[in-house]
Amino acid sequence: MTASVAPTVARALDEATAKRVRFVGLDVDGVLTDGGIYLGDVDGRRMEFKKYDIQDGLGILMLRWAGIKVGIITGRVSDSVAMRAAELKVDELVQDEQARKLPALRSICHRLDISLDEVAFLGDDLPDVGVLRAVGLPVAVANATDDCVRAATLHLTRRGGAGAVREFCELLLRARGEWDALVERYVQSRSEGTHK
The full set of domain ranges for the chain reads: 15-185
> Residue 113, CB half-sphere, CA atoms under 13 Å: how many?
0
CATH code for residues 15-185: 3.40.50.1000
How far is residue 24 from each of residues 91, 103, 113, 149, 190, measured CA to CA in Å? 10, 16, 14, 18, 26
Supply the pLDDT for residue 8: 44
How far is residue 47 from each of residues 72, 79, 107, 148, measured CA to CA in Å? 20, 8, 30, 29
pTM: 0.91
Cα–Cα distance between 105 and 169 in angstroms, integer? 19
Tell me the pLDDT of the chain (196 aa) as tens digits: 444 444 445 567 899 999 999 999 999 999 999 999 988 888 888 888 999 999 999 999 999 999 999 999 999 999 999 999 999 999 999 999 998 999 999 999 999 999 999 999 999 999 999 999 999 999 999 999 999 999 999 999 999 999 999 999 999 999 999 999 999 999 999 898 655 5
